[in-house]
Amino acid sequence: MAKSLISPLISMPSCMSDDHRLIRETARRFAEERIAPIATELWEEEGFPYAVWRDAAHYGFSGLPYSERDGGGGGDWLSFVIVLEEFARIDCAIANAFMANSSAATLLSDFGDEVQRATWLRPILQGEAIGAIGLTEPNAGSDASAICTRADREGDSWRLNGAKTFISNSGTEITGPIVVAAVTGTRPDGRKEISNLIVPHGTPGLSYGRKLKKIGWRASSTYELFFDDCRISSDKLLGAQGAGLRQTLGTVTGGRILIAALALGILQGSLDRAHAYLQERSAFGARLGTFQALQFKVADMARDAYTARLAIYDAARRKDAGETYALEASMAKLHASECAMRAAHQAVQIHGGYGICSEFAVARAFGDAKVLEIVEGTSEIQRQIIARTMGLGLEN
């Protein structure tokens, strides 16, 4: 396994404390000892790593940034970013399971009442279950306001009908609450009223479609969901009726920092593996590391890892401090995901024929990196957010 170059070659942002460094060491050791040995198998078999999920929860990773009141670790978001970075350095699909779980956890933590948090949040923070959110639909991806899944109020329950797709953490043996965004009415201005509902795994009327075959994140359990007169009791409305879109988009904004952390993990892993390969491999009578063209590729990776880390950690620090961070989250996600794609590409190129074989981590990282330019808002959406924040494209 390639040794991480993060310590000897790249200085850490000043916002890191001794506790953050300890968390990094712990997460890195866990990833190398528990994830790395099964990464190839998980990729080939597309299986969900139940044992890793339980063991990571034992270390407190799954609930790290959440309140101890709800069974979390009482840590900060920067710590969670560091954990995701270290996990994604070894296997991005496993890191995504924790990221997607945190999306559901954040919605429940921020908007759930005491009973909802005790019933649905605590188990997914402590590793007994895993959470998911159902937002994306076959015809509603980047435009979340276009969702068509409906929930109609009938007495003391909701009747849910519709479909979702690309839902991470769905279809596992331990899938717990799925927080589903649905149209619950019409606003006075004619726009859709969207609310979030907690749908327990196994609810009658909830069914799973095909397991999606992806170019990356192959160990991430991703299914289509269908709701056919799915009955949900009224106590499973999350927060206020009609607040679902605002709730979810706010959660997605924070999620962009976490996706950026996954991208940083791929970027750092690509750098580590490329550097190690250049030191080990020879061609034309010389070590590959003596060829300037290859040196420049690794130099670019190191630069990108440094700048991406600064952007991501700053966005996480802002979130922890209660400052505005939407612009910084979009910038971090855009920069890190595109740098990860570039680094993964160059790592494959450096490895040559070995780089296109799936038993090599650089090949798996290439597919994983592409996913990150799509999820939690495409690169085009991030550029649009940044441009609008700069006052471009707005009516005077």
Active site (catalytic) residues: 376
- Residue 342 Cα to chain centre, angstroms: 19
Question: Can you tell me the distance from the alpha carbon of 214 to that of 50, in angstroms, rounded to the nearest whole number?
Answer: 20
CB atoms within 10 A of CB 230: 23
How many other C-beta atoms are found inside a 10 Å radius of the C-beta of residue 243? Answer: 17
User: If DSSP codes are grouped into helix, strand and coil, which group holds residue 193?
Assistant: strand
CA atoms of 229 and 249, how far apart (whole Å) = 26
In 3-state terms, what secondary structure has residue 282?
strand
Return the bridge partners of 200, or none: 177
Q: Are 195 and 346 in contact (CB under 8 A)?
A: no
Which residues make beta-bridge pairs with 222? Answer: 168
CA distance 180 to 197: 5
Which two structure tokens, joined as six digits, stand for 243? Answer: 């607040």
3-class DSSP assignment, residue 186: strand
CA atoms within 13 A on the CB side of 378: 6
- Residue 266 contacts residue 343 (beta carbons within 8 Å): yes
CA distance 209 to 188: 35
Pair 300, 345: CB distance under 8 Å: no
The CA-atom distances, in angstroms, between 57 and each of 20, 30, 81, 97, 354 are: 18, 12, 16, 12, 35
Residue 228 token pair: 């056919």
